[in-house]
Structure 1
Amino acid sequence: MPPRHVHVEQVMGTAVSLDVRGADVPVARAAAAQLAAWLHDVDRRFSTYRDDSEIRRIDRGELALGEASEDVRWVLDRCDRLRRETGGAFDDRAGGRLDPSALVKGWAVERGGDLLVAAGLTDFMINAGGDVIVRGGALPEQVWRVGIQHPRDRTTIAAAVSVTDQAVATSGTYERGAHLIDPRTGEPPSGVLSVTVIGPDLGLADAYSTAAFVLGPDGPAWTLRLEGYEAMTILADDRVLRTPGFPQG
């Protein structure tokens, strides 16, 4: 069997797990440490729970946007573009204060994956609280099989997909409760239990799944228009709607 290294890090308010296949263990350990350091740095700058983070300081008017780090400026600019792209369904001020978390976690994990590739890893999975990126295969298997948690039953999955070199993001109320707010109404969205989006970039997949969830019953039609991304929506009446290219099995 190919060598395997697993690392779990508590960061960004969740458990982030790394599963590396096929790499020498010392190489995998060093890469895991690099990933952990990156995610803790992101948490330090972007956390909405730390009073000294750049995001909180910007929100309080203590730090000008032009004086923030390059990453923070880039993320907030991308949030602004996503707000326009989604017709306001994605909004980093949906809860009344600056909170780009719906983009940050996916963006940070995607960038972390790039760090692992640069460190020489070719086959790995990063799972950040249900948001996943995979590269290569789950050696000796050539692809990764990713389970999507059922929104009504935490002990089972709603579906499983076989993917490689892809990102899988799911938005719903079962991970953190009714934390998603429709910025157009100020209320939690209704009519949808979860939305899973699969595509090449976890930051965008995460943001798109959030927007589609906020759109409620209008979300499935909206996801049909996404280029390069596929979606599965579980409605409140338990119907499951998939875009034509959503992977199976």
Structure 2
Amino acid sequence: MGTVFTSQIVLDETAEKPALLTKIEHFQNLLEVYLEQINTRFSPYLADSEVSRYNRGEITALTMSPDLYFVFASSLAAKLATHDAFDANYNGEFEPSGFVKGWSIEVGFSKFLVPLFQFPSVQAVNLIGGGDMQMETREQSDWVFDIGIVDPTDRYSIIKTVQLKTGAIATSGISERGHHIKGAVDDILQTTVIGQALQEVDVWATALMVNPDLALPDNLSGFIFTRQEGETHAKIS
């Protein structure tokens, strides 16, 4: 997927670190294997991936794996929900990377990081990929994630800070990968969407780049950063 993934595990002062770190490392190794498998299966740049095989007609919606079918169906649902602003088809081929990234982070987080809460010293965990984050904080903990949103015109500056304990946040725009979204509006520099599920907020962050007039579902909130007369402005969506 061409994405760097990082995770953060927050421990309290009572942690028996040598023993606990060994257990944490085990789960992180499982997470790494999982993410590598996702790339192998869903990358459109690998000739033997399931996505490439589908695009060559070697497998169909009736013969594809359950995971690819879920990605296929979810991408279609996202296209319908966003009135075509989110579209996993590119140049006549199925290219679901825009959905797979958020989905794989959310699933990997649930499978391999949330189980760390079985250890009482673990206060919070997150998983980040390409600047998008799924996070959770133990209910009794005071830990809050301070999330800096990068200035789309200066990737070394923070334009806004968001504080979250649990949930998901996705940002789409030009700061990480330049102008890479098909159909994006020129004056829209960056969008950020906040909710509970990363696969959902990532879809809507991409969709707002294409159609900033879309109304977000009630369970989501977001910011759109626009270029106006040489300045960057933000509005709440």
TM-score (norm 2): 0.88
Q: Give the distance between the partners of 2:133 and 2:173, measured in 1 at CA.
A: 15
From 41, 60, 68, the equivalent of 2:64 is 68
What is residue 5 of structure 1 aligned with on the other side? none
Pick aligned residue for 1:239 from 229, 233, 236: 233
Q: 1:226 to 1:144 in 2, by over 3 A?
A: same
What is the aligned-residue RMSD (CA, Å)? Answer: 1.8
2:83 to 84, 87, 101: 87
Matched, 1:28 2:20: no
The structure that is strand-richer by fraction is 2
Deviations along 1:23-73, one digit per CA (max 9) or x if unpaired, are: 721121111111111111111111011111101110111122222211110
2:223 is aligned with 1:222? no
Residue number among 102, 114, 117 corresponding to 2:114 in the alignment: 117
Q: In the alignment, does 2:171 pair up with 1:170? A: yes
- For the pair 1:208 / 2:197, whether they are aligned, the reply is no
Relative to structure 1, is the Cα distance of residues 234 and 124 closer, same or farther in structure 2, using a 3 angstrom cutoff? Answer: same
Query: Does the 8 A contact of 2:114 with 2:125 survive in 1?
Result: no
Equivalent pairs counted in the alignment come to 221
Aligned letter for 1:33?
N
1:192-221 CA-partner distances (Å, limit 9, x unpaired) = 000000000001110000001111xxx1x4
Deviation, structure 1 residue 189? 2.6
Alpha-carbon deviation of 1:118? 3.0
1:140-219 to structure 2, matched below 5 A, reads 142-182=143-183, 188-215=184-211, 219=212
TM-score in terms of structure 1 length: 0.83
- How much has 1:141 moved relative to structure 2? 5.0
Secondary structure in 2 matching 1:21: strand
* 8 Å Cα contact 2:123/2:141 also seen in 1: no
Structure 1's unaligned 5+ residue stretches are 1-11, 183-187, 244-249
Q: Indicate the larger mover: 124-133 or 92-101.
A: 92-101
Contact 1:143-1:164 at 8 Å conserved across structures? yes
1:13 corresponds to? 2
The residue type paired with residue 64 of structure 2 is A
For residues 69 and 29 of structure 1, what CA distance do their matches in structure 2 show? Answer: 30
